[in-house]
Amino acid sequence: MGRNGRKPGRGQAGSRPSLDVAAILDARRGEELALNDLHLNPQFGRVLRTIGYDRTWVRGYGPYLWDDRGDRYLDLLSGYGVFALGRNNPAVRAQLERFLAAETANLPQLGVTLLAGVLAEQLLARAPSRLDAVVLTNSGTESVEAAIKLARASTGRPRVLYLNHGFHGLTNGALSVNGNEEFRERFGPLLPGCDMVPFGDLDALRTELARGDVAAFLVEPVQGKGVNIPEPHYLPEAQELCRAAGTLLVVDEVQTGLGRTGRFLALEHWGLEPDLVLLSKALSGGYVPVGAVLTTRAVFERVFDSMERAVVHGSTFGTNDLAAAAAIATLAEIDDAGLVERARAAGERLLELTRPLVDRYELVKDVRGLGLMWAIEFQPPSGGAALRAWRLAEDRQPGIFAQLVTGPLFSEHRILTQVAGHRMNVIKALPPLVIEDHDLVAFAEALDAVLARLERGLAGAMARFGLGVARRSLRRPRAAR
Ligand SMILES: Cc1ncc(COP(=O)(O)O)c(C=O)c1O
């Protein structure tokens, strides 16, 4: 029950004549997990309790989050990459306040507005010159859906190729090109004509393209699941193969775009000239949903080729002024704060600080990154009791070791990181691009301390972790107050 004996959710918001969001945040602080369990996703609530991430978050600013105890956490997830500018960026917020005060004639629907056009202009000015048309969307997965439709309609071909471990979102079309079985399971049948090719395997790609029926090859420049960075020749050669086969190259920059990898678009690392580029996540500074597909006029006009077909693809909110204003302000802030260069330099520094861990600890197999997309990969110890403990735990739950690292990073060092994918002993960091050197150093030192302790007593740590998980997963959900 809520305070005053009311059912949660039927509280102040419904009964007050004038709503005050700030008062809700204050009066109902601490109810978020209970409300989640009642009305949203209780299984996710269980996960948070089990891994010990069940905090009451009360504030976010820059690279930090604060909980209700006043503890500050360094956020190396950035909301899965949306807070590249840090949380609650004041420059974007100031522009949003100006935008709201302007009371624009938003979404006339049978009419067009200025800000969507300005955003398209600004995006194209920063993209490879052959891209000269934009479709605005509301999310990453929607950008992927649009790309599949544009590619099929403009080539007249049915098939779409994607890579193993590729991740492009979770709506039906995007799921059909998702290279991770754990997401696809039980949602079939998915779209026909979508086929996976192995990451890095040009021969497999060549064989599929040779059938002459492939509309698009969809690829993340750096794969988000696992932070897999391709060999230098892979993407340029894949592009050549696609061109020769009349297949469109679609580069999904939803996670890698907007400075994340130390270039405005990651495709610049390889000088790629794709037919479509997909954006979302960081594009609104984290304030509102937004997405974009950048493509060529030729592709666009093969789809929207008559007045009859003028609205053959789109969505109600696609060109909304609020998202456009946030995105224009975000692009300006990326420039003004020099965030692309900052990401490049900070990424190099992070590698410099963390690569020595590979030599220092036998449990560390690899440290890799491009700009501020970073990962550390673990491997089993070479023998003895430590290896037996590893095998025992990993046989039961593959990827469990990575949680032995993310757990103490969070609970002891107050650093938020994530395991990079299902059943993977890889930890990933997507720091805000505004992260400062002292926080990079703090992260590297925390990792070092956690790994040193684990390497000294792996068997004990695994046993304690197993017990802790069992205890926390049995913990009763907190009742709503
Ligand atoms: C590369 C990539 N594409 C698409 C998506 C889907 O974006 P959204 O979650 O906004 O639908 C993601 C999300 O993580 C992503 O990383």
305 contacts: CB under 8 Å, gap ≥ 6? none
| pLDDT tier, 479 (very low <50, low <70, confident <90, very high otherwise) | low
Tokens of 240: 């050549």
- Average pLDDT over every residue of 191-200: 98
For 126-152, the pLDDT digits (tens) are: 999 999 999 999 999 999 999 999 999
Q: What is the CA(260)–ligand 1 centre distance, in A?
A: 14
Question: Ligand 1 in contact with 406 (CB < 6 A)?
Answer: no
- Write down the pTM of the prediction: 0.94
Rounded distance, CA 103 to CA 426, Å? 47
Question: Ligand 1 in contact with 220 (CB < 6 A)?
Answer: yes
CA of 166, closest atom in ligand 1: 1
Question: Ligand 1 in contact with 143 (CB < 6 A)?
Answer: no
| pLDDT tier, 1 (very low <50, low <70, confident <90, very high otherwise) | very low
pLDDT at 17 over 80: no
Residue of 139, 141, 278 with the most ligand 1 atoms within 8 Å of its CB, for mutation: 141
pLDDT at 156 over 50: yes
State whether residue 416 is helix, strand or coil: strand
For 167-184, the pLDDT digits (tens) are: 999 999 999 999 999 999
Question: Ligand 1 in contact with 255 (CB < 6 A)?
Answer: yes
pLDDT at 6 over 50: no
For 358-415, the pLDDT digits (tens) are: 999 999 999 999 999 999 999 999 988 889 989 988 988 899 999 999 999 999 999 9
For 238-273, the pLDDT digits (tens) are: 999 999 999 999 999 999 999 999 999 999 999 999
| Closest C-alpha residue for ligand 1 atom 4 | 168
Rounded distance, CA 233 to CA 270, Å? 8
pLDDT at 327 over 70: yes
Nearest to 378 by CA among 347, 393, 357: 357
CATH value of 8-70+340-474 in 3.20.20.70, 3.30.70.141, 3.30.300.10, 3.90.1150.10: 3.90.1150.10
CATH value of 91-336 in 3.50.50.60, 2.60.260.40, 3.90.1200.10, 3.40.640.10: 3.40.640.10
Tell me if 8-70+340-474 shares its fold with 91-336.
Answer: no
Beta-bridged to residue 65, according to DSSP, are: 60, 73
pLDDT of residue 475: 61
| Closest C-alpha residue for ligand 1 atom 13 | 169
Residue of 165, 218, 220, 254 with the most ligand 1 atoms within 8 Å of its CB, for mutation: 254
Q: What is the CA(363)–ligand 1 centre distance, in A?
A: 30
Tell me whether strands 291-295 and 276-279 are parallel, antiparallel or unpaired: antiparallel
Question: Ligand 1 in contact with 141 (CB < 6 A)?
Answer: yes
CA of 280, closest atom in ligand 1: 10
Rounded distance, CA 345 to CA 355, Å? 15
Question: Ligand 1 in contact with 169 (CB < 6 A)?
Answer: yes
pLDDT of residue 10: 46
Rounded distance, CA 163 to CA 375, Å? 19
For 340-358, the pLDDT digits (tens) are: 999 999 999 999 999 999 9
Q: In the chain, count H helices and then E strands.
A: 20, 15
Question: Ligand 1 in contact with 224 (CB < 6 A)?
Answer: yes
- Residue ranges per structural domain of the chain: 8-70+340-474, 91-336
Q: What is the CA(224)–ligand 1 centre distance, in A?
A: 9
pLDDT of residue 5: 44
pLDDT of residue 451: 97
pLDDT at 230 over 90: yes
pLDDT at 3 over 60: no
- Average pLDDT over every residue of 456-466: 76
For the ranges 31-35, 50-54, 206-210, 331-335, which has the lowest average pLDDT?
50-54
Question: Ligand 1 in contact with 230 (CB < 6 A)?
Answer: no
Q: What is the CA(342)–ligand 1 centre distance, in A?
A: 23
Amino acid at the residue 391: R
pLDDT of residue 377: 98
Question: Ligand 1 in contact with 252 (CB < 6 A)?
Answer: yes
For 22-80, the pLDDT digits (tens) are: 999 999 999 999 999 999 999 999 999 999 999 999 999 999 999 999 999 999 999 99
Question: Ligand 1 in contact with 80 (CB < 6 A)?
Answer: yes
Average pLDDT, the chain: 94
